[in-house]
């Protein structure tokens, strides 16, 4: 989605479950409008509350979709999580596109295309892409545009717009840095909330909280002499400044909240 929109609309990290909620994104050009619903992936055998909530996001989104796009990573072997996604897609009444991603690195021992080829007969279209290299993205958009029915766009309630100043988007950006700079299980114990934004003439002042569910995680997030929280804050602030062209003051506070998962 970041490549399609040519701007950052969704956070990314190498860790699973980085995406926790569906993101609605509207793409428009001279051909028409596509309302994307970008869903989290499906995790296998989850026991925690967050994991169970995340696994419910994709299934509830399939009903009513005109086109279902299933993206598979052909640089790694097919696993049980892929099989669960395949099972969900098979239940959809919409047209289906099978997308082979990471064609740029799927070579030699990392080429697992053959493990997915058998699915092609079940899909209306198949295409190979590299999202990070922007290869065949225009081809994917062309396929989607041709599949969508003619009609007026739906109401744009919940559709993504340029998010600078959005509390939810800034909180997600901070959470991305938690996934990038913390290790092992720590990011999964956290979320971020923006408490207030004060948009002054020369500077945007943002106060935000990082919530975690245990004292030991709080210490790890702060780090020795505050080194880790400074690293997280610095990288979030610099990215916001690049996106906005504005001077940003970002104040981060780490708090223990054992019930944040229940509110997600």
For residue 234, what is the domain's CATH number?
3.30.300.20
Same domain for 140 and 245, yes or no, is no
87-119 as b/e, with b when 16 or more CB fall inside 10 Å? ebbeebebbbbbbbbbbebbeeeeebeeebeeb
* Structural domains in the chain (count): 2
Q: Which of 93, 118, 147 is the last residue of a domain?
A: 147
Contact of 136 with 162, CB cutoff 8 Å: no
Residues 6+ away with beta carbon under 8 Å from 121:
none
pLDDT, residue 143, reads 98
Query: What is the C-alpha separation between 184 and 186, in angstroms, rounded?
Result: 6
**What is the C-alpha to C-alpha distance for residues 113 and 73, in angstroms, rounded to an integer?**
9
Name the helix (H) or strand (E) containing 142.
helix 137-147
| Distance, CA of 230 to CA of 233 (rounded, Å) | 5
pLDDT at 162: 47
Say if residue 27 is in the same domain as residue 77. yes
Shared-domain flag, residues 127 and 195? no
Task: Return the pLDDT at 165.
Answer: 58
Q: Please check whether residues 17 and 108 belong to one and the same domain.
A: yes
The pLDDT of residue 74: 97
Tell me the residue ranges of DSSP E strands in 4-146: 23-29, 32-38, 67-73, 95-101, 125-128
Same-domain status, 122 and 205: no
**What is the span of the domain harbouring residue 187?**
167-263
- The last residue of one of the domains, among 147, 175, 195, is 147
Instruction: Give the residue from 172, 181, 247, 183 showing the smallest Cα distance to 208.
Output: 172
> Are residues 175 and 127 located together in one domain of the fold?
no
Name the stretches of the chain with pLDDT < 70: 154-165
Q: In angstroms, rounded to a whole number, what is the distance separating the alpha carbons of residues 251 and 231?
A: 12
Q: Are residues 128 and 206 in the same domain?
A: no
User: What is the model's pLDDT at position 158?
Assistant: 52
- 158, part of any domain: no
Question: What is the rounded distance in angstroms from the CA atom of residue 45 to the CA atom of residue 42?
Answer: 10
**What residues pair up with 104 in beta bridges, in sequence order?**
none
Q: Which helix (H) or strand (E) holds 34?
A: strand 32-38
> How far does CA 190 lie from the centroid of its chain?
16
* Within-domain flag for 213: yes
In whole angstroms, what is the distance from residue 89 CA to residue 91 CA?
5
- Distance between CA atoms of 224 and 200, rounded to whole angstroms? 33
pTM above 0.75, yes or no: yes
Round to the nearest angstrom and report the end-to-end CA distance of the chain: 23
Q: Is 98 left (phi over 0), alpha (psi -120 to 50) or beta?
A: beta
Say if CB 36 and CB 156 are below 8 A apart: no
Q: Give the per-residue pLDDT at 90.
A: 93
Strands 23-29 and 32-38: antiparallel
């Amino acid at each position: 989605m970041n490549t399609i929109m040519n701007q950052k609309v969704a956070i990314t990290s190498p860790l699973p479950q980085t995406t926790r909620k569906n993101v609605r994104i509207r793409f428009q050009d001279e051909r028409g409008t596509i309302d994307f619903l970008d869903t989290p992936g499906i995790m296998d055998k989850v026991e925690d509350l967050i994991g169970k909530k995340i696994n419910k996001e994709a299934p509830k989104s399939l009903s009513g979709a005109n086109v279902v796009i299933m993206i598979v990573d052909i640089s790694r072997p097919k696993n049980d999580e892929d099989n669960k996604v395949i099972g969900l897609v098979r239940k959809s009444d919409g047209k289906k596109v099978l997308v082979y991603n990471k064609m740029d690195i799927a070579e030699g021992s990392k080429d697992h295309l053959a493990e997915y080829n058998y699915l092609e007969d079940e899909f209306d279209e198949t295409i190979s892409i590299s999202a990070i290299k922007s290869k065949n993205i225009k081809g994917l958009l062309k396929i989607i545009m041709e599949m969508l029915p003619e009609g007026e766009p739906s109401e744009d309630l919940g559709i993504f717009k340029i998010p600078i100043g959005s509390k939810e988007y800034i909180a997600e950006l901070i959470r991305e840095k938690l996934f990038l700079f913390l290790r092992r299980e720590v990011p999964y114990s956290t979320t971020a909330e923006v408490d207030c934004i004060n948009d002054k003439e020369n500077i945007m002042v943002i106060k935000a909280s990082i919530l975690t569910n245990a004292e030991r995680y709080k210490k790890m997030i702060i780090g020795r002499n505050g080194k880790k929280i400074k690293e997280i804050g610095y990288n979030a602030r610099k990215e916001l400044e690049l996106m906005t062209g504005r001077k940003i003051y970002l104040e981060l506070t780490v708090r223990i909240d054992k019930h944040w998962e229940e509110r997600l």
